[in-house]
Amino acid sequence: MFLGKVLTRMKVFPEEDANLDALLAKIKGIDGNNTAKIEDYVFGAKIIIASFVCEDRAAVDFEERVRSVEGVSEVQVEEVGLIS
């Protein structure tokens, strides 16, 4: 039975002194990464918007994987849902 794929979209907040380009490269290197880009946030701050895809039955905790990356201050999951 085909269950589909799950997309997880999140905001990644860097630590104050983190190198954003290096952090972006680390996040892109996480298995399951679909997209990741730096975006302007508030008051001149920048964050990374990232999305990850896995098989529905895989139940991968991308939030925990991203949170464990050195340089990440906070992770905010924006959306989780079936895409196919």
pLDDT in tens, 12-70: 999 999 999 999 999 999 999 999 999 999 998 999 999 999 998 887 899 999 999 99
Q: How far apart are CA 62 and CA 64, in angstroms?
A: 5
Residue ranges making up the domain that contains 56: 5-82
Residues in a beta bridge with 47: 39
* pLDDT score at 56: 84
Q: Is 61 helix (H, G, I), strand (E, B) or coil?
A: coil
pTM: 0.90
Task: Tell me the C-alpha to C-alpha distance, in Å, between residue 26 and each of 1, 40, 50, 67.
Answer: 34, 19, 11, 12
Here the CATH number for the domain that contains residue 77 is: 3.30.70.60
Domain count, the chain: 1
Alpha carbons 15 and 81: distance in angstroms, whole number: 28
